[in-house]
Amino acid sequence: MALRGLTDTIVPPRGYRGRKGALHLHNKKNFKTSIGGQALIEGVMMKGVSQSCMAVRTPSGEIDVETWDNPKAKWYKKVPIIRGVINFVVMLIEGYRTLMKSAEKAGFDEAESESKFDQWLSKVFGEKLMGVISVVALILGVALALLLFMVIPAFLTKFLRPMIGSQIALSAIEGVIKIAIFVGYLALVSRMEDIHRVFEYHGAEHKTIFCYEHGNEMTVENILKEKRFHPRCGTSFLLIVLVLSILVFSVVTWDSLVLRVVLKFAFLPLVVGVAYEIIKFAGRHDNPFTRAISAPGMWLQRLTTAEPDASQVEVALASFLPVLPKDESEDDRW
């Protein structure tokens, strides 16, 4: 479905069965929706209770909207820790898939000419070429992340072992190196023009969710007024993972660098699962304790989000409306 743009008055999504009005607005105090999203290339993906949607601004200026049903299997959502690990893997795969698809819709995959190697790849893999490239790129991306945040920090810290006898102190230094790499990486990529634009869509995503949670009418004008730092951001989640890893990995041996890296791989699901529970708790409650937990991640969002313009908010809103619960009895609670 393609839209030319959104007007100030928003029409409810097709099939909507909520209360009368331009848009279903909850009347709960301090409402915390379970809807979350991800910035894409010239677009935004939103994941609701039963449906997901991606909206992308095409080269023609239209907003291309695509929706799909979420998996029915939800048994793991009631199992602490496990649900965090599974959700992380699912969102990693789905997020990368929609990111690649958004690049295609936005026209980023259009090349002026193909090299002989490109022609050979197209001949061998045919229509499956983009899928193959996506899988290879995902594997390389995960491998690079593990190298940057697991192998390199442990390797660098190993040289300090003769001078520092405390295992806890070594783990703390390793953690500081991880966080420094993370912040430095974000600071560098935020300077890239294309990435900065993705971060603007990231800001549009946060503002849209905030506008809904605050019970305001869902218009572009209202959304632009909202703040762009949200406690449930993936940036905050990753920072919590890094901080938790300092505590958990402090008990992992330094006797062997290889053994330490292997054990860290083994402990990683636990760290991810606990981090999910923490950010889930912080997302559902608003008090001094949860605000303190969320503060570092929200500070870091100054690097990973940017102020969007009205056209980017239009895209975020187009991805948000279709995932609104069609029935008030649905559990839209984080």
Domain chopping of the chain, boundaries: 2-108+126-145+159-315
Measured distance CA(276)–CA(28) in Å, rounded: 25
From 185, 153, 146, select the one nearest 172 (Cα to Cα).
153
Neighbours of 142 (CB within 10 A): 12
> Tokens 């791989």 map to which residue?
265
Q: Output the pLDDT for position 19.
A: 36
Dihedral Cα 47, 277, 329, 27, nearest 10 deg:
-90
Please say whether the beta carbons of 167 and 250 come within 8 A.
Answer: yes
pLDDT digits (tens, 9 = 90+) for 205-254: 999 999 999 989 999 999 999 999 998 898 999 899 988 988 888 888 77
> 303 Cβ partners below 8 Å, 6+ apart?
183, 186, 187, 190, 199, 235
The per-residue b/e assignment along 105-123, b for 16 or more CB within 10 angstroms, e otherwise, is bbeeeeeeeeeeeeeeeee
Residue 255's CB is within 10 A of a number of other CB atoms, namely: 9
The reported pLDDT for the residue numbered 123 is 56
Contact between residue 33 and residue 242 where contact means Cβ atoms under 8 Å apart: no
pLDDT at 327: 62
Distance, CA of 285 to CA of 34 (rounded, Å):
13
In this predicted structure, what is the pLDDT of residue 20? 37
8 Å CB contact between 35 and 26: no
List own/partner pairs for 89-93 with CB under 8 A and 24 or more apart: 91/38, 91/47, 92/138, 93/138
**Residues in the chain where the model's pLDDT stays below 50:** 4-22, 111-113, 117, 121
**Residue 276 exposure: Cα atoms within 13 Å on the Cβ side:** 21
> Tens digits of per-residue pLDDT, 62-84?
999 999 999 886 778 888 999 99
pTM of the model: 0.82
